Amino acid sequence: GDSVTQMEGPVTLSEEAFLTINCTYTATGYPSLFWYVQYPGEGLQLLLKATKADDKGSNKGFEATYRKETTSFHLEKGSVQVSDSAVYFCALGSNTNAGKSTFGDGTTLTVKP
Amino acid sequence: KAGVTQTPRYLIKTRGQQVTLSCSPISGHRSVSWYQQTPGQGLQFLFEYFSETQRNKGNFPGRFSGRQFSNSRSEMNVSTLELGDSALYLCASTSGSERSPLHFGNGTRLTVT
pLDDT, one tens digit per residue, over B30-79 is: 999 999 999 888 999 999 999 999 988 999 999 999 999 999 999 999 99
Residue A15 pLDDT greater than 80, yes or no: yes
Nearest to B42 among A49, A100, A105 (CB): A105
Handedness of CA B82, B67, B100, B61 (dihedral sign): positive
What was the pLDDT predicted at B2? 81
What was the pLDDT predicted at A41? 87
| A105 close to B (CB below 8 A) | yes
pLDDT category of residue A29 using cuts at 50, 70 and 90 = confident
What are the tens digits of pLDDT across the range A37-92? 999 889 999 999 999 999 999 999 999 999 999 999 999 999 999 999 999 999 99
Would you call B68 exposed, middle or buried from its count of C-beta atoms within 10 A (0-12, 13-18, 19+)? buried
A83 φ, ψ (degrees, to nearest 5): -70, -10
- For β-strands B108-112 and B10-13, DSSP reports them as parallel
Distance from CA of A103 to the nearest CA of B (A): 6
CB-CB neighbors (< 8 A) of A51 in chain B: 99
Q: In what order do the strands lie in the sheet with A62-65?
A: A19-21, A75-77, A62-65, A56-59
Residues sharing a CB contact under 8 Å with residue A40, sequence separation 6 or more, in sequence order: A86
The CA R_g of chain A, rounded to the nearest whole Å, is: 13
| B95 close to A (CB below 8 A) | yes
What was the pLDDT predicted at B81? 98
Distance from CA of A36 to the nearest CA of B (A): 9
CA-based nearest residue to A91, from A9, A19, A6, A30: A6
DSSP track, B19-31: EEEEEE--TT--E
Would you call A20 exposed, middle or buried from its count of C-beta atoms within 10 A (0-12, 13-18, 19+)? exposed
DSSP track, B42-66: EEEEEEEEETTEEEEE-S--TTEEE
Nearest to B101 among A46, A96, A100 (CB): A46
